[in-house]
Amino acid sequence: MCGIIGYIGNRRATPLLMQGLRRLEYRGYDSAGIAVLDGNSLFCERTAGRIDALKEKIGERRPEGTVGIAHTRWATHGIVSEHNAHPHRACNDSLVIVHNGIIENYRELRAELQATHTFTSDTDSEVLAHLIESCHQGNLRHSVACALSKVRGTYGLVVMHADNPDLLVCARMGSPLVIGMGEHEYFVASDATPLLPYTKDVTYLDDGEIAELRRDGVRIYDLREKTVHKDIQRIEWNDEQAQKQGYDHFMLKEIFEQPVVFRDAVRGRKIPEDGTAYLGGLNMTESQMRNVSRVVFVACGTAYHAGMIGKYVFERLAHIPCEVEVASEFRYRDCVLDDRTLVFAISQSGETADTLAAVREARRKGAIVRGIVNVVGSTIARETDGGTYIHAGPELAVASTKAFTNMVAVILLYALQFGRLKHVSLADGQQFLQAHFEIPSKMEQILNMNDEIAAVARRYARYRDFLFLGRGINYPVALEGSLKLKEISYIHSEAYPAGEMKHGVNALLGPDFPVLAIMTKNQLYEKMRSNIEEVRARGSKVILIATEGDTDARQLGDDVLTVPSTIEALEPLLNTIPLQLFAYHAATMLDRDVDRPRNLAKSVTVE
């Protein structure tokens, strides 16, 4: 969603902000803009479209100023156009704002202000600029606090005023803002990615906080304007990790990173001699763990698919009843929770608005709430009472890949940890860990098939529809493969549990409707095989993901992609990879913007 970067220091702000915008591109955007204070004169430029278009518009006009703000917009209210792009100015042209979030009562506020203020955009955000202007009596922080007291909704907000060239004021409610601490220079951004070249010391604003950034320091206040003292945290990621490192796309790089980041996710968390795992961040004693009567995973998109896999393994290993909920449904449902329910919120970004709202709802109802999160210091990580970082490193492609496998890796270890307290024997636990240990080299084996998978994907990329089939633990894998394909190639695709085909979906089958099916050797192999026979009989082309050495698969599939065998619970860690590569190559064949697919944002921070 929208990306914000602000700077105050001694460097020229324009190039720094432009580079910051490029590093925020991965969040998804449709327009961009920048404002820089040059002395007391305000330079502001905006455009619909890409950052290159903004650069072209700025041309040779390079303001010298060392304080500024910039923004990538992902349209919610108002079409994609220059006049709706941020920064938004108030009437007197001295005050500018950038905003991420949604102002829910903007219509009422706009109606009130319209008598005295001239609006130039259709956005909800512009109302903030006029509201702050109408409150302004000299002290910018007071003006922002006064304006925000009238606002309902969410905001990550940065404000700059030509009368205060040594000051940026930021505020947060619902939309993330991180402040970067340098030497006599300070940064504010929607996430840490644009800060990586300059500083690793950051502090995260919490909801209801307002910050003043000056060259000599940062002061943070609550909405009642009382000073708040915050810890400085160190970002673990480095700038190199946030680069493409020779790959054509972030997505391909991130797919190929999976063996390495998988090791990072599980390092120090396995106890082979006891056939178990230990995820200390769970913050629960063994007797509290034994007392858990139900597990609920809440998440969105790809993270939801990881949760579905969690349901299979938790019920199988830990014998604990388990549910998976799409966070946007969970938050509005009267979900029955109690203090024996363990809720896991799964999120790569740790900022997804619906998942965060689900966390808050679950805590309100007294459940035990833990996070399975990638971004360290993110809001979900801070608002849960423990949990586990998945250590996937920066994931910058909109399509989630390595975060998915690392979520699954961690969930599997949780299932083992709970399982060993109940039903799983030492021998079974050790066998599980041995299979887990072999996963990275097996992932590498699949990645070595990249060219073969690319050739198959290219042959099928011109079909308009696709069906993904799986059963059991591979049904969520089919859903994930289908999501990857549709989100980056724009090919329509669906995913079904193969046993459900007869109940309607068979009607779609035929020569124009290829089927990609996961038919690895597990307890449902024979069932899956019969389902594929039925698909073939109806004329659809079949691509199979099959276990190495399965000669029967060769007769059944028009194309067969093989994966090494592993125990059933771990199959998703391997079977997902050919599907990720299939989607990637189909999308590049169709010349799609793989890392930044249309209409999508990396981190969905509004409802």
Instruction: Identify the three-state secondary structure at position 422.
Output: coil
DSSP letter assigned to residue 103:
B
Amino acid at 378: S
| CA distance linking residue 414 with residue 436, whole number of Å | 13
Q: Which is nearer to ligand M6R, 316 or 486 (CB)?
A: 486
Q: Which is nearer to ligand M6R, 123 or 482 (CB)?
A: 482
Positions in 351-380 near ligand M6R (CB under 6 A):
352, 355
Instruction: Decide: is 298 part of the binding site for ligand M6R (CB under 6 A).
Output: no
Instruction: Decide: is 396 part of the binding site for ligand M6R (CB under 6 A).
Output: no
Binding mask 410-439 for ligand M6R (x = CB under 6 A): ------------------------------
> Do you know the residue count of the chain?
607
Please provide the DSSP assignment of 275-319 as one string.
TEE--GGG---HHHHHT--EEEEEE-HHHHHHHHHHHHHIIIII-
DSSP letter assigned to residue 206:
P
CB of 346 to ligand M6R, least distance (A): 7
CB of 551 to ligand M6R, least distance (A): 34
Q: Which is nearer to ligand M6R, 164 or 355 (CB)?
A: 355
Q: Which is nearer to ligand M6R, 175 or 348 (CB)?
A: 348
Q: Which stretch binds ligand M6R (CB under 6 A): 23-31, 133-141, 349-357, 529-537?
A: 349-357
Q: Which is nearer to ligand M6R, 317 or 579 (CB)?
A: 579
Compute CA 53 distance to the chain's CA centroid, rounded to the nearest angstrom.
26
Instruction: Identify the three-state secondary structure at position 33.
Output: strand
Q: Which stretch binds ligand M6R (CB under 6 A): 31-39, 179-187, 299-307, 316-324?
A: 299-307
CB of 330 to ligand M6R, least distance (A): 13
Positions in 485-544 near ligand M6R (CB under 6 A):
487
Strand partners, 553: none
Q: Which stretch binds ligand M6R (CB under 6 A): 229-237, 301-309, 518-526, 582-590?
A: 301-309
CB of 430 to ligand M6R, least distance (A): 32
- Give residue number: closest CB to ligand M6R: 301
CB of 427 to ligand M6R, least distance (A): 35
* Known catalytic membership, residue 602: yes
The dihedrals phi and psi of 21, each to the nearest 5 degrees, come to -60, -40
The dihedrals phi and psi of 114, each to the nearest 5 degrees, come to -60, -25
Instruction: Decide: is 398 part of the binding site for ligand M6R (CB under 6 A).
Output: yes
Q: Return the residue of 47, 143, 175, 302 that touches ligand M6R, per CB under 6 A.
A: 302
CB of 384 to ligand M6R, least distance (A): 13
* Known catalytic membership, residue 2: yes
H helix count then E strand count, the chain: 19, 27
Q: Return the residue of 47, 94, 347, 576 that touches ligand M6R, per CB under 6 A.
A: 347
Residue of 2, 300, 322, 335 marked active site: 2
Q: Which stretch binds ligand M6R (CB under 6 A): 74-82, 348-356, 382-390, 511-519?
A: 348-356
Instruction: Decide: is 173 part of the binding site for ligand M6R (CB under 6 A).
Output: no
Please provide the DSSP assignment of 317-363 as one string.
II---EEEEEHHHHTTS-----TTEEEEEEESSS--HHHHHHHHHHH
Q: Which is nearer to ligand M6R, 20 or 28 (CB)?
A: 28
Q: Return the residue of 317, 604, 605, 606 that touches ligand M6R, per CB under 6 A.
A: 604
Q: Which stretch binds ligand M6R (CB under 6 A): 97-105, 296-304, 496-504, 552-560?
A: 296-304
In the structure encoding, which two tokens stand for residue 266, read together? 């599980």
Instruction: Decide: is 211 part of the binding site for ligand M6R (CB under 6 A).
Output: no
CB of 482 to ligand M6R, least distance (A): 11
CB of 154 to ligand M6R, least distance (A): 16
Q: Which is nearer to ligand M6R, 199 or 400 (CB)?
A: 400
Instruction: Identify the three-state secondary structure at position 213.
Output: strand
Instruction: Decide: is 303 part of the binding site for ligand M6R (CB under 6 A).
Output: yes
Size of the site for ligand M6R (CB under 6 A): 16
Compute CA 199 distance to the chain's CA centroid, rounded to the nearest angstrom.
23
In the structure encoding, which two tokens stand for residue 333, read together? 């449902």
Q: Return the residue of 95, 147, 300, 509 that touches ligand M6R, per CB under 6 A.
A: 300
| CA distance linking residue 412 with residue 318, whole number of Å | 11
Is the C-alpha dihedral spanning 242, 587, 306, 442 positive or negative?
negative
Q: Which is nearer to ligand M6R, 209 or 595 (CB)?
A: 595
| CA distance linking residue 104 with residue 5, whole number of Å | 23
| CA distance linking residue 308 with residue 475, whole number of Å | 9
Residue 486's CB is within 10 A of a number of other CB atoms, namely 17
Strand partners, 7: 68, 187
Q: Return the residue of 179, 298, 381, 399 that touches ligand M6R, per CB under 6 A.
A: 399
Q: Which is nearer to ligand M6R, 257 or 487 (CB)?
A: 487
CB of 28 to ligand M6R, least distance (A): 9
Positions in 436-495 near ligand M6R (CB under 6 A):
483, 487
Unique residue bearing structure tokens 């699949």 = 446
| CA distance linking residue 70 with residue 512, whole number of Å | 47
Amino acid at 110: R
Instruction: Decide: is 603 part of the binding site for ligand M6R (CB under 6 A).
Output: yes
Q: Return the residue of 301, 310, 377, 578 that touches ligand M6R, per CB under 6 A.
A: 301
Determine contact, residues 262/290, Cβ cutoff 8 Å.
Answer: no
Please provide the DSSP assignment of 428-453 as one string.
HHHHHHHHHHHHHHHHHHHHTTHHHH
Residue of 253, 311, 442, 602 marked active site: 602
Name the pairing type of β-strands 227-228 and 31-38. Answer: unpaired
Instruction: Decide: is 349 part of the binding site for ligand M6R (CB under 6 A).
Output: yes
DSSP letter assigned to residue 119:
-
Residue 604's CB is within 10 A of a number of other CB atoms, namely 21
Determine contact, residues 156/124, Cβ cutoff 8 Å.
Answer: no
Instruction: Decide: is 348 part of the binding site for ligand M6R (CB under 6 A).
Output: yes
In the structure encoding, which two tokens stand for residue 316, read together? 């199988």
| CA distance linking residue 365 with residue 32, whole number of Å | 41
Q: Which is nearer to ligand M6R, 47 or 302 (CB)?
A: 302
* Exposed / middle / buried, residue 56 (Cβ in 10 Å: 0-12, 13-18, 19+): exposed
CB of 370 to ligand M6R, least distance (A): 15
Catalytic residues: 2, 602
- Residues within the interface to ligand M6R (CB under 6 A): 300-303, 347-349, 352, 355, 398-400, 483, 487, 603-604
